[in-house]
Amino acid sequence: MESGTACLTAKQIELVQSSWEKVEPIADTASDIFYAKMFETEPSFRALFPEDMSKQKMSLMQVLGMAVKGITNLEELVPKVQDLGRRHAKYYKVTVPMYQTVGVCLLYTLEKGLGDIWTPEHKEAWALTYNVLASVMIATHNE
C-alpha cells in the first residue's frame, strides 16, 4: 500500500478527504445509493447480505470513513485493510472480480451523492484511492 499511496498526490488526498466530509452527513442516502446500484449491477451479490441491511450500511460508511481518514497514517491503516481483506475472502467468499463491481458502484454513489461538487479530479482521486485499498485487500486472499 505504501507504494500505491505514493501515487496519490497531496491534492488528491485532500480531494478524497474533503469530499468524504460532505458524504458523512448523507451517509444513509449514500449507503442506499451504493447498495441499490450494486444489487442492480450484480443481482447475485444480494444473497451475500442479510435481509435487514441497516447494520451493513452503517458498517460500510464506518469502514470507508476509517480508510479515508487513515490515508495519511498508513502504518495504522494497512493492517486494518489487510484484516478486512482476509475477512471478506474467508467469511464472505469475496472474489477478486467482485472488487471491480464495488469500485464502480462506489464511484457512482459518490457522483450521485455529491452532485455538483463532483469533478473529474474527484473521480480520479477516489478511483486511485479505492484501487490502492482494494489491492491491499486482494493481496490477502491467499493467506
CA–CA separation, 9 and 5 (whole Å) = 8
Contact partners, residue 131, CB within 8 Å, separation at least 6: 4, 103
pLDDT band, residue 2 (cuts 50/70/90): very low
The model carries a pTM of: 0.93
Locate 135 and state its grid cell: 489491492
pLDDT digits (tens, 9 = 90+) for 33-70: 999 999 999 999 999 999 999 999 999 999 999 999 99
Instruction: Kindly tell me the sign of the dihedral angle through the C-alpha atoms of 36, 113, 23, 64.
Output: positive
Locate 33 and state its grid cell: 445509493
Q: H or E segment at 125? A: helix 120-139
pLDDT digits (tens, 9 = 90+) for 17-30: 999 999 999 999 99
Burial label, 123 (beta-carbon count in 10 A; 0-12, 13-18, 19+): middle
